[in-house]
């Protein structure tokens, strides 16, 4: 986790004091206060980060708990806006939501078009294979070979990673709401690239899936929330909230609750 030291009084307060200038000035912080709600872009397809409850069809997960906590501290209503990985940036640029909370990792390509908050955690990539292939790939180089097909979800950082790090393999992109691990279960790919976080859930949920090279995760990267570019005040506010909740132990508590593993 990433931490900053803050005065004890600020931590003890438990809520964030909104700057006076934000209450009267222009900008997204003033806009969400005036609207009485904060719009959260989320994909709903990344368990345990964000997913739909089968019974209620309501969003649940680590990122949903974070979004609801942020809304409560701002005295706002959390309004969840469905999106997908391919259009996260477009949605921010089109003002469809105020912040993305769906389990995004930081990448240079994303950072060129959107703003990232301070990180709240870290992840890395590992391959998933079918149980019968658990011993087939002895290392990363065995995956980087002609005749090996690796599935990724379109628009994710896993897609970029496979392109750059495993160029000899065949990349099979799957467009949301379909997912790469579904291609693996269906036998249409040899492996699916996933995060350390999602692998823990998928291998519990689907006994035929096995995470390999767990002791060799690749591409360790920080995870953060995404915000529209160009509003420094809004980003500073979100950074302040992430810092406060990191120091208070909120993100550590959420990690325990949702069984997250870090790279």
Cα 94 from Cα 187, distance rounded (Å): 38
| Structure confidence by residue, pLDDT tens digits, 15-30 | 444 443 333 346 999 9
CA nearest neighbour of 121 among 262, 12, 243, 259: 262
- Average pLDDT of the chain, as a whole number: 89
Cα 114 from Cα 92, distance rounded (Å): 8
Q: In angstroms, how far apart are the furthest CA atoms of the chain?
A: 62
Cα 198 from Cα 248, distance rounded (Å): 25
Residue 201's pLDDT is 86
pTM for the whole structure: 0.77
| Structure confidence by residue, pLDDT tens digits, 43-60 | 999 989 999 998 999 999
Cα 59 from Cα 96, distance rounded (Å): 18
Q: Is 186 exposed, middle or buried (0-12, 13-18, 19+ CB in 10 A)?
A: exposed
């Amino acid at each position: 986790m990433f931490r900053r030291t803050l005065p004890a009084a600020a931590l003890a307060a438990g809520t964030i004091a909104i700057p006076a200038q934000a209450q009267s000035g222009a900008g997204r912080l003033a806009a969400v206060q005036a609207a009485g709600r904060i719009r959260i872009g989320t994909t709903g397809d990344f368990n345990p980060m964000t997913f739909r409850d089968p019974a209620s069809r309501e969003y649940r997960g680590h990122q949903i708990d974070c979004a609801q906590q942020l809304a409560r501290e701002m005295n706002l209503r959390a309004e969840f806006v469905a999106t997908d990985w391919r259009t996260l940036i477009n949605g921010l640029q089109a003002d469809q939501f105020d912040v993305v909370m769906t389990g995004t990792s930081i990448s240079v390509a994303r950072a060129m078009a959107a703003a990232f908050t301070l990180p709240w955690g870290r992840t890395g990539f590992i391959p998933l294979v079918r149980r019968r292939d658990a011993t087939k790939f002895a290392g990363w180089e065995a995956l980087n070979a002609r005749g090996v097909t690796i599935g990724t979800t379109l628009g994710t950082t896993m897609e970029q990673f496979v392109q750059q790090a495993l160029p000899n393999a065949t990349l099979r992109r799957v467009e949301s709401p379909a997912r790469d691990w579904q291609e693996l279960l269906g036998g249409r790919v040899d492996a699916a690239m996933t995060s350390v976080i999602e692998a823990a859930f998928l291998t519990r949920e689907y006994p035929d899936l096995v995470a390999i090279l767990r002791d060799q995760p690749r591409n360790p990267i920080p995870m953060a929330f995404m915000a529209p570019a160009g509003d420094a005040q809004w980003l500073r506010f979100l950074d302040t909230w992430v810092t406060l909740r990191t120091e208070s132990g909120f993100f550590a508590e959420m990690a325990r609750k949702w069984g997250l593993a870090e790279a």
